[in-house]
Amino acid sequence: MTSVDVARAAGVSQSTVSLVLSGKGRGRISARTEAAVRRAAEELGYRPNAAARALRTGAARSVGLVVPDVTHPFFGETMRGAQEAAWTAGYAVALVDVPLDRPLEAPLEALRAGPVDGFLYFSVEPPEWRPGGEQVVVIEASPDAFPWVRLDVEGGFDAALGHLRELGHTRIGHLTSRVPYPTFQIRTERWRAALVGAGVEPVDALRAGAGFDFDDAARAAGRLLDAAEPPTAIACDDDILAGGVYLAARERGLRIPEDVSVAGFDDLDFARVLWPPLTTVRADAERLGAVAFATLAAAIAGEELEAGQVLPVELVVRGSTGVAAG
């Protein structure tokens, strides 16, 4: 079933078929011929061969989506936003899930061979080289060298920290991601600033790093809570980490928020189901993904674009934060 078959059925040449179906025949092909071609294509169930088209045009109309953890709900939402935007723009989406502790190169290698016109890196640092002509947009990662989209992490974390300070907390702990990415480094900076502002030394005993799983986060939170002078509140880089604090507090018989306040980041769905419901910073992950794709599409189309975009976030106060004890 190729354009040649359609041409034969419609009694025209192959190039006419191509012209008609690509829409580039506008005004050059007679209405009758056009109708005949369309009908033949329809009847035969013709669909253009993507490989041939890609070979000929040099564009695959598909983009690669690189995420560090498909199972993290935040990425799930971001992926949904990106993939929905991509599909409506006629782009397919290739998924690449690369755990951060594994080399990127291998899986990407395959895609760089042509199946993909560009990459969306979600919280993953793109490799240095750019051998092919693929476009790249980074989301929540280092903005150097590539167009980027990110959340207003400063504003969000400041809001959470400010909320905690208003409740009288000064010894605020920070449960941080072990991934050394800018988005998390920003959080650490704001945390330091907030503590200094509160007249408290941002000592290492008030910080602990963990991966994005509840058990690891619980262990790290435990170290914070077991310290000689434990924090009265813990600001977390992420809701998953905050979940770890719940686990650690529970093990130690500590009540939230009476004994320790907890604030998260992302507003994942499960945050509301926790008890008490988690105070967190809401981010529109789906929009983040959609904007990222739009940026990439513009780059692929060769359009001029702003270097970066910052999306707003919003503090959501729920039950896990309360006035500082004593």
List residues binding a second copy (CB under 8 A).
45, 47-52, 54-55, 60, 62, 65, 70-73, 76-77, 79-80, 83-84, 87, 90, 92-97, 106-107, 109-115, 131, 213-214, 243, 246-247, 250, 269-270, 272-275
DSSP SS3 for 169 = coil
Q: Which is nearer to a second copy, 186 or 240 (CB)?
A: 240
CA of residue 111 relative to chain centroid, distance: 20
Q: Extract the tokens encoding 85.
A: 């935007």
Answer for which of 49, 103, 180, 215 binds DNA (CB under 7 A) is: 49
Answer for which of 4, 145, 203, 310 binds DNA (CB under 7 A) is: 4
Contact between 62 and DNA per CB under 7 A:
no
Contact between 39 and DNA per CB under 7 A:
no
Q: Which stretch binds DNA (CB under 7 A): 19-27, 165-173, 238-246, 286-294?
A: 19-27
Contact between 142 and DNA per CB under 7 A:
no
Q: How far is the CB of 104 from a second copy (least distance, A)?
A: 12
Enumerate binding residues for DNA (CB under 7 A): 2-4, 11-16, 18-19, 21-22, 24-25, 27-30, 32-34, 46-49, 52-53, 55-57
